[in-house]
Structure 1
């Protein structure tokens, strides 16, 4: 199925006449009919009742028309924005983010960017490792993740550090004022993301290993929300940045960890060779939002 098939079908659906549709498209009627037949053959259904006068759309045709109308509209908007960006009339700014960073200051920063009417902001959910690759390939301009990646072409800056807390299902025996790593290490763990690695999962594994408490991983999940769901289902426990506590759930309890110094940083990543004014302006804004309050 190609884009022209959709456009040709829309012309027929809106005129309900092959001759007028061909005139609108500036093509001959026989090629138009063949293109519609090809589309129907690929879908395996009839879209147009050709025996009726005027033509009518079948039920499948009405459904296809409704949903491809939205698709073509979105494509038109994307094409127009692409043209304006290419002509320098608009700007595009790509942001990669690890899911847990959305519970802090990042949403406010994105809102601040989107207030610029001449700026298109693209958001991509991804791990830190994926963000670094996207930066190097030019698919995003800045990333917000949780782990340090050693790559000379990327600059990383720790913005803040969130204490880690244990996420336990309601009724778990370790729920209390705090819990030790030794106690947690005896429980099965749900870690995320499972891939790609290294990731936040490795950060948690290393936190336990460095304290002499290896853990047993019962399940890997690819997303924070999935991991939380598996914890509430009794598959195991996990550690999350404390900022995730803003996600209130009746079936989950967050417990502070007894050992000090267990944190998960929020790390800003950007290309070393990117000195654009837009990026530098956003980096300044980010630093202002994450700067510690002045002592009084």
Structure 2
């Protein structure tokens, strides 16, 4: 079982980075050890998970399917093990947490797990935009905040201590009758003739990132609409008014599969990252307990 868990962690790292060297560095493994993990996992499953040569690494259909489910499986295993270790703890207090509106698919699982481990610590949740929540961290009106960024933006965006808690591949959102709806991955330049529906809110800068990536690939995107709410993006795409992109999320995939096709975006920084952010001057003893619970 321990090997299976290690192999899944290795698989997820390679699927997120699509680069064996970077994934090995992230896991503190040698590249040969990481390659061995992937080969043994492929042998166990009897499928090829990656297509790789000297220039690219990309998921096969089987790899894409495993990637959508593997994180949930590992989260559940970690939850059971941590609950066992912490079952005798009796800690009380309050934790004030800020959340972006686009994180409702993965944060509830984290919160439920923490409440199981520490039933006497009260969670106070607030949905806030990033600039407002960072100011409240500074004033200690929040204990922890969750920020979401794209690609390499994250480390440049916060004056506070950060911990990466989730890394998800970016994906294109296409109408189900789109010519590319059945593809499992696409390069951005393949969609340069499309109308784009983009998500953006103050502090996120997703649209700025997207425009810069299009510019790198030699075209200016036709942005039909910018939406401040995630649900509005889904409505626009399902209605055939344009295409968009978002982070690959198993829960969203299940919700959208009857109306929207989800196709992975290629690129070495085509991923979304969620961070837990906190002010090191805040001495609330519940903060390290919460951070340790999401290891």
TM over 0.5, yes or no?
yes
| Structure 1: runs of 5 or more not aligned | 1-88, 289-296
Distance in 1 (CA, whole Å) between partners of 2:148 and 2:208 is: 11
Which residue of 1 is the match for residue 113 of structure 2?
A: 112
TM-score by length of 2: 0.59
Distance in 1 (CA, whole Å) between partners of 2:216 and 2:276 is: 25
Alignment of 1:106-185 (within 5 A): 106-115=107-116, 116-147=118-149, 148=154, 150-152=157-159, 154-177=160-183, 178-185=185-192
Which residue of 1 is the match for residue 104 of structure 2?
A: 102
Aligned pair count reads 196
Distance in 2 (CA, whole Å) between partners of 1:186 and 1:249 is: 24
Q: 2:239 aligns with which of 233, 240, 243?
A: 233
Distance in 1 (CA, whole Å) between partners of 2:213 and 2:238 is: 23
| Structure 2: runs of 5 or more not aligned | 1-90
4+ runs deviating over 6 angstroms? none
CA contact (8 A) 2:94 2:286 kept: no
Q: 2:279 aligns with which of 268, 271, 283?
A: 271
Distance in 1 (CA, whole Å) between partners of 2:119 and 2:204 is: 38
Distance in 2 (CA, whole Å) between partners of 1:95 and 1:233 is: 35
Distance in 2 (CA, whole Å) between partners of 1:108 and 1:172 is: 33
Q: Deviations over 1:70-95 (max 9, x none)?
A: xxxxxxxxxxxxxxxxxxx9632122
Greater RCO structure (CA 8 Å; 6+ sep)? 2
TM-score by length of 1: 0.59
Q: Deviations over 1:109-138 (max 9, x none)?
A: 211233444332122223433332232233
CA contact (8 A) 2:148 2:204 kept: no
CA contact (8 A) 2:130 2:203 kept: no
Distance in 2 (CA, whole Å) between partners of 1:231 and 1:181 is: 17
Alignment of 1:51-90 (within 5 A): none
**1:233–1:209 Cα change, 3 Å:** same
Which residue of 1 is the match for residue 255 of structure 2?
A: 247
CA contact (8 A) 1:161 1:263 kept: yes
Q: What is the RMSD of the two structures over their aligned residues, measured on CA atoms?
A: 2.4
Distance in 1 (CA, whole Å) between partners of 2:241 and 2:141 is: 36
Distance in 2 (CA, whole Å) between partners of 1:211 and 1:129 is: 30
